[in-house]
Amino acid sequence: MSDSPAPIKIIRKQTGNFLEDFQPGQIFRHKGGKTITEGLFTTFTEFSMSTHPASKNARYARAYGYQGLVCPPGLVMLVAFSQTVEDVSENARANLEYIDMKFGAPVYVGDTIEVETKVIGLRPSASRPNLGIVHVQSTARKNIGDASEAIVVSWQRKVQVYKGKESAEVKAFDLPADDIEFELWIPPYDANAKLAELAHLSSPDSYFEDLEPGSRIEHSRGRTITDEHIAMTAILDNTSQVHCNQYMVDLNPKQYVGGKLIIFGGIPFSLCLGLSCPDVGDNALGDIIYTTGRHTAPLQAGDTVFAATEILNKRDYPSRADLGIVETRLFGYKMVRADGEQTDDAPEGWKRVQIFELDRQIAVKRRSHYA
């Protein structure tokens, strides 16, 4: 190859959109898409500490009518959500709220997920001229063009996005969310399937009959997140630099607690679901909807995450005598040195800081039918 001529033009690529770039009704067909490999599946399913046998044990999954190991809802969310980051939130300050995250078809190893997002709202900040809130609705489909094509998850989110130029004029708008028709797929009940013979593989005390409205379950396990989060974020194609570029942090360390990278919120989202699994998830046949959810404090490498679930309500599942619906509120928290701000729910010298909250409805098996 010949010598390089002196470059005449330096091109600095910008990625992501700024507040003034979002248009009413605009559709993003996100880049990439993602096929679920066994590497991706294992990394996240096991990181989450999920104990659900349908995500661990192919014999169990097939006996229930699944095609094979089932991706936990946290993994479906991570793969779908991450595809929207470059277009929607690469230039965001914070993700404010998850709204009406509804699940559809089960996701298996080998499925390919692709996502579209519609811009349905924008509101400039009254007090901060360089910021505003963008409201989007995203839909993730699997296996487009194949007989197995189906919606796997849809959701809305509100995200606080920076302007590219502070002087840019932006107009507020507010469109109704689309009514997207799809349903959670749950394996049909077969009284002859002898599923009780597999009952020892899931936890014995998390059936519909066990979950008591008005109770709060403090899940017993905690998990320390290491700088593994950098690789995990890359595996998800989440392109936000605040999760993986330490040099950017070092340039401006005061903006980041302890001069450390921020952990992508989807990671504790998935971990809290997993930590709650032995007590509320092991006998669920699906997560129906997360009506609202938010991150309430940031996480960094070294933090240990715990979770708790409040059982809010429970009711019959329409036309499925074998199941019930349980309304829960999932909390994530971390324990930090108190520095004089001791809280009652923590040992001396420590305080408990809530990091996450999710209103979550699940379809849970009845012991009467399955054990």
The DSSP call for residue 64 is T
Cα separation of 355 and 294, whole Å?
8
Q: What are the φ/ψ torsions at residue 114 (nearest 5 degrees)?
A: -130, 150
Min dist. Cβ of residue 249 to its own copies (A): 9
Nearer to its own copies by Cβ, of 112 and 125: the residue is 112
Min dist. Cβ of residue 64 to its own copies (A): 13
Secondary structure class of 364 (helix, strand, coil):
strand
Nearer to its own copies by Cβ, of 170 and 236: the residue is 236
Please say whether the beta carbons of 156 and 88 come within 8 A: no
Min dist. Cβ of residue 176 to its own copies (A): 21
Cα separation of 183 and 250, whole Å?
46
Cα separation of 233 and 64, whole Å?
32
Min dist. Cβ of residue 163 to its own copies (A): 19
**What residues have CB less than 8 Å from 251, skipping those under 6 apart?**
none
Cα separation of 371 and 362, whole Å?
19
Min dist. Cβ of residue 234 to its own copies (A): 5
Nearer to its own copies by Cβ, of 335 and 364: the residue is 335
Nearer to its own copies by Cβ, of 169 and 348: the residue is 348
Nearer to its own copies by Cβ, of 170 and 211: the residue is 211
Nearer to its own copies by Cβ, of 46 and 174: the residue is 46
CA 237 remoteness from chain centre:
14
Cα separation of 22 and 66, whole Å?
40
Note the maximum CA span of the chain: 77
Min dist. Cβ of residue 116 to its own copies (A): 9
> Any bridge partners for residue 189, and if so which?
none
Question: How many CB atoms sit inside 10 A of residue 108's CB?
Answer: 18
Min dist. Cβ of residue 360 to its own copies (A): 9
| Residue whose pair of structure tokens reads 């505003």 in the numeric block | 132
Nearer to its own copies by Cβ, of 304 and 342: the residue is 304
Min dist. Cβ of residue 253 to its own copies (A): 12
Nearer to its own copies by Cβ, of 21 and 310: the residue is 310
Encoded tokens for 183: 């349903």
Cα separation of 44 and 78, whole Å?
9
